[in-house]
Amino acid sequence: MTYHCPLCKSPLTKDHYHKVLKLQDEQQRIQKGELETLKKQVAAAKQKEKELRLKARQDADAARQQGALIERKRTERLMAGQAEKIKKLQEKVKMLKSGETHQSIGLADEPVLVARLQQEFPDDRIEHAGKGGDILHFVEFDGSDAGCIVYECKHTPRISGDHITQTARAKATRRADYAILVTTGTRKGFCGLDHDCGIFIVAQAGVLTLARICRHSLVTMAKAQLDAAARAATAQRLMDYIISPNCRTPLEQAIGHTERARKKLGQEMRQHLRDWKERYELYQTIHHEVSHVEINISRVLDGQEPLQLAKPRSWLTKTMSVLQKPRSALPSG
């Protein structure tokens, strides 16, 4: 039997084909486990919040009796921190329920974006300040730095004002020419590209296109040998143009098409795996029944009683038992 990759149709070995089949069940198992863990954490956090509220009321009564408010304020700070923790956990639950995983976050994940920037711009210098830190993109021209682009990556359901402030602060601190907030989130009126506080806000599908535009402007300014004031004015003119309808509309459309194509590919891959699983089970049943007939023929010829047809052993669960690897680890065919 010949096995083929579902995407590129190239022939695969049987082992390679079965490795692909192994992936789906494990991914679902691990994702379900993550969801259950997060739900438990949310429940625990809510219980903790309930206890803190009760303690706050008790402490408030004691504080009024004693004329002291210090303990109540401390409890309120604890409650605020607990509420923020609950909010973050609920955001993770929402992402898991929508099918969003760390592997599907893509370019809103810092290590992934660093790798893609290094791949797209091999002559530039890409620096990452560690987990949760800025990504600095130093554009190289004629042996020296032509300018700097700073990236902040956020994979949350909503675009937060704190994220915008953080990105704007990073732009000022790093003295960058451009700052880009790469996000998986949304807000009212956001269609994949926006600006706020002097920074770009872009969906992950559009970050590389925006990076190329910003990089091109920095190289152009370096060629023209502009001073700091002229560079700032040129950068502002570019930002004004990018957010204008003439540029913004086609970019947002391209971002939307890219996201839909990515989701469509994921749906097709999941459907292929379901089809493969069904076909595999059919072949397993056929093999089991034919083997049963062959065994009984031999027994009858030897004068023995034929055996009853037993339920086939399920090999498929074992065959599809390793799947929460990064998507880059999936066999490509």
For residue 8, tell me if it sits in a domain.
no
Let me know if residue 118 belongs to a domain: yes
86/193 same-domain check:
no
Q: What is the mean pLDDT of residues 302-318?
A: 71
180 lies in the same domain as 204: yes
pLDDT at residue 330 greater than cutoff 60: no
Report pTM. Answer: 0.52
pLDDT of residue 324: 41
Long-range contacts of 83-86 (CB under 8 A, 24+ apart): 83/49, 85/45, 86/42, 86/45, 86/46, 86/49
Give the pLDDT score at 8.
Answer: 59
202-205 long-range contacts, CB within 8 A, separation 24+: 202/255, 203/255, 203/259, 204/105, 204/106, 204/107, 204/108, 205/106, 205/107, 205/254, 205/255, 205/258, 205/259, 205/262
Element (H, E) at 232: helix 228-242
Same domain, 32 and 75: yes
Residues 72 and 170 in one domain: no
Higher-confidence residue: 12 or 251?
251
Does 7 score more than 90 pLDDT?
Answer: no
- Residue, of 305 and 89, whose pLDDT is higher: 305
Among 211, 31, 21, 11, which residue's Cα sits nearest to residue 119? Answer: 211
Report the percent of the chain where pLDDT is more than 70: 74
Residue positions counted in the chain: 333
pLDDT (tens digit per residue) in 159-191: 989 999 999 999 999 999 999 999 988 888 888
Residues 58 and 172 in one domain: no
Asked if the model's pLDDT at residue 328 lies above 50, the reply is no
- How many domains is the chain partitioned into structurally? 2
User: What type of residue is 259?
Assistant: E
pLDDT of residue 20: 63
Give the range of the structural domain holding residue 67, as residue numbers without chain letter: 16-99
Is the backbone of residue 101 left (phi > 0), alpha (psi -120 to 50) or beta?
A: beta
- 217 has pLDDT over 60: yes
